[in-house]
Amino acid sequence: MLLEVEALDVRYGRTHAVKALSLGVGADEIVTVLGANGAGKTSLLRALQGLTPAAGGRVIFAGGDITKLSPAQRLRRRLALVPEGRQIAITLSVHENLQMGAWCRSDGDVARDIGAIYERFPNLGSRRDMPASVLSGGEQQMLAVSRALLARPRLMMLDEPSLGLSPLLVERLFDLIRALHNDGLAILLVEQNTQMALEVAARGIVMELGRGVLEGPALELSRNERLAAAYLGEARV
Ligand SMILES: Nc1ncnc2c1ncn2[C@@H]1O[C@H](COP(=O)(O)OP(=O)(O)O)[C@@H](O)[C@H]1O
Ligand SMILES: [Mg+2]
């Protein structure tokens, strides 16, 4: 496993947001974390990136224990997060946002890699010197993913990337997730769009009130009646 999470706990004072959660992500895998609002999904991803301290448990990444490492140290080990709500710096230019994604790198290939992003996303290239506020919601999500890519991650975690996007842009986002996976990136995907997440992922885990309550191959989860009743709703048909 590229990422191994063992009995992770996250607490905010009396709120026990993540309770003894364990999961693994293989080097060539997409794993999805599902669950209602408040289930602890964001707390989990933030703890894995080191943005929120773990109150207990261990996080092993690429064979090393990263439980106590800073977010920057985890980024240098090539673990990157596309945060909830994108967190684009809207007053900075598109180009500056991308440069921020590479701040942890000391190699000379950043300009080349940004050029490759502009080839992949011409809408970003044509607006490179404009403030990121001119981008549409879909383009801002592409920018957020691109910024994370510039850390050259081995594992990318995405926190509800489809939130607020039109159905067409959601399709394009999931196409991008598939393409990144085909390029060799491992992905840990937190989604509200349960059906699409289970289509793209190999395995899934469902969180309720901080706990992992259901786990298995995506195909099995998509047929699970309990999950269907709770989260799939009409989106299933
Ligand atoms: N910074 C915080 N301080 C206190 N409580 C928080 C904080 N962030 C999240 N929580 C609480 O932790 C629980 C899990 O929240 P969160 O991880 O955001 O869930 P999700 O992403 O699944 O919606 C919720 O009860 C939420 O109110
Ligand atoms: Mg969340």
- Show the domain range for 15: 3-87+153-236
Q: Looking at residue 184, what is its pLDDT? A: 96
143 in a structural domain: no
Distance 29 CA to ligand 1 centre (A): 27
| Residue among 168, 123, 159 nearest 143 (CA) | 123
Distance CA(152)–CA(80), nearest Å, equals: 8
Which residue's structure tokens are 């496993």?
1
Q: Which residues have CB less than 5 Å away from ligand 2 (the ion)?
A: 41-42, 84
226 in a structural domain: yes
Tokens of 224: 């699970």
Cβ of residue 133 lying under 6 Å from some atom of ligand 1: no
50 in a structural domain: yes
52 in a structural domain: yes
42 in a structural domain: yes
Our count of domains for the chain comes to 1
Q: Which atom of ligand 1 is nearest to the CA of 35?
A: 22
Q: Looking at residue 232, what is its pLDDT? A: 57
Q: Give the pTM.
A: 0.95
112 in a structural domain: no
Q: Which atom of ligand 1 is nearest to the CA of 52?
A: 1
- Could you tell me the CATH number of the domain that includes residue 39? 3.40.50.300
Q: Which atom of ligand 1 is nearest to the CA of 36?
A: 22
- Would you say 197 and 191 are in contact if contact means Cβ atoms under 8 Å apart? yes
Distance 55 CA to ligand 2 centre (A): 19
Distance CA(154)–CA(187), nearest Å, equals: 8
109 in a structural domain: no
157 in a structural domain: yes
Which of 12, 41, 207 is the pocket-test mutation for ligand 1 (most atoms within 8 Å of CB)?
12
Q: Give, for all 237 residues of the chain, the pLDDT tens digit.
A: 999 999 999 999 999 999 999 999 999 999 999 999 999 999 999 999 999 999 999 999 999 999 999 999 999 999 999 999 999 999 999 999 999 999 999 899 999 999 999 999 999 999 999 999 999 999 999 999 999 999 999 999 999 999 999 999 999 999 999 999 999 999 999 998 999 999 999 999 999 999 999 999 999 999 888 777 776 554 443
Residue 178, Cβ density class (10 Å: 0-12 exposed, 13-18 middle, ≥19 buried): middle
